[in-house]
Amino acid sequence: MLFVAVLWLAAPVNAATSSPSLQLVRTIRTSPFVNSTISMKDAEGSAYVPQDNSIWLADDNGRAIYEVDPTNGNLKRMIGTATFQATPRFGGGQVAGSTRDQDIESMAYDAGRDALYAFSGICCSGSSQPTAFRMLRDAKGVFQVESYQPLPTGSDFTASGWNPADGKLYVGVHKDFRSYDYATNSPGPTFQVPTLRAILGMSFSSNGQQLYVAHHDSSGNAQFSVVDWGTKTLVPGWTFTLTSFGIRDSRAVEMINGQFYILDGYDGRAKGDPLRHALYVFNVQA
């Protein structure tokens, strides 16, 4: 199930004196999707493509990604392991094979290049090879998995997002952020946001001035925070603990039409539970 958290913002997230609160609006189920018998096996990441009105969801255990209509929750499309394994290496070379899609953790949409990226990490077998996959549109305007890049050994890009202000992809894991360039397959140096830990999902505001982060606190509670990207600091008052809404493992966050969509990766709910791997939609009231 996909649970969506919606946040309506009346002003920029920059006022230290503001006292915002989250208001749960609805949830979107993914177990199964509302118009399908297909279910996510483990919710991990997301990316929003505005011109398609599509939120893409990453599923590492299912070795798949899903294109979903965020308005009604309908599943539009699924891309599975057969496609990822048959993907050629960027610039030429052997296809990805069976070891590069075992841990699909995060996704990001680059609006400047009209490209989608999916990052697969190193969990949870010794054979898993970290990989970046790129999706481009075909002649009909449909995204297809076009190529992959083998990431440096040990890479585990649990979170990813594209910043429209500088046109760069950024990835995150644990406490660390860094840039990543797909064409050159080059990760940048790491940097941190003070007190922010257990980074699991991320996306940027439409102007690139704010970073939205799904993460856990030191006690393991699911949280969502807003970062001032210019100062690389948390915006005071804009960290929310999500457990009271039923979110136990915040894995991804997108802002869509003024609302925050937060994906819950908690695996402990029973199959068929409408909140299993749900997407939560929130409004924010300041």
Half-sphere exposure in the Cβ direction for 169 (13 Å, CA): 28
Convert the pLDDT of each residue in 106-139 to its tens digit: 999 999 999 999 999 988 777 899 999 999 999 9
What is the band of 17 on the pLDDT scale with cuts at 50, 70, 90? very low
Is the confidence at residue 9, as pLDDT, over 60?
Answer: no
Determine the average pLDDT of the residues in 273-282: 98
Residue 155 has pLDDT above 80, yes or no: yes
- The CATH superfamily holding the domain 3-285 is Hemopexin-like domain (2.110.10.10)
Picking from 239, 236, 238, the residue whose alpha carbon sits closest to that of residue 222 is 239
Our separate counts of H helices and E strands in the chain read 1, 21
Residue 3 has pLDDT above 60, yes or no: no
Q: Which H helix or E strand runs over 238? A: strand 233-241
pLDDT at position 53 is 98
CB distance 66 to 75 below 8 Å: yes
The predicted model gives 164-170 an average pLDDT of: 98
- Amino acid occupying residue 222: A
pLDDT of residue 13: 54
Q: Mean pLDDT, the chain, as a whole number?
A: 94
Determine the pLDDT at residue 241. Answer: 98
Domain assignments of the chain as residue spans, ordered by start: 3-285
Share of the chain above pLDDT 70, in %: 94
Question: Which of 1, 71, 4, 2 has its CA nearest to residue 242?
Answer: 4
173-214: pLDDT as tens digits: 999 999 999 999 999 999 999 999 999 999 999 999 999 999
Q: How many percent of the chain have pLDDT more than 90?
A: 88
Q: Which of 97, 81, 96 is nearest to 148 (CA)?
A: 96
pLDDT reported for residue 123: 84
The yes-or-no verdict on residue 38 having pLDDT over 60 is yes
Per-residue pLDDT reduced to its tens digit, 200-251: 999 999 999 999 999 999 999 999 999 999 999 999 999 999 999 999 999 9
Average pLDDT over residues 4-9: 43
What is the value of pTM for the model shown? 0.93
From residue 7, alpha-carbon distances to 4, 53, 57, 248, 277 in Å are 10, 17, 19, 19, 20
The predicted structure's pLDDT at residue 97: 95
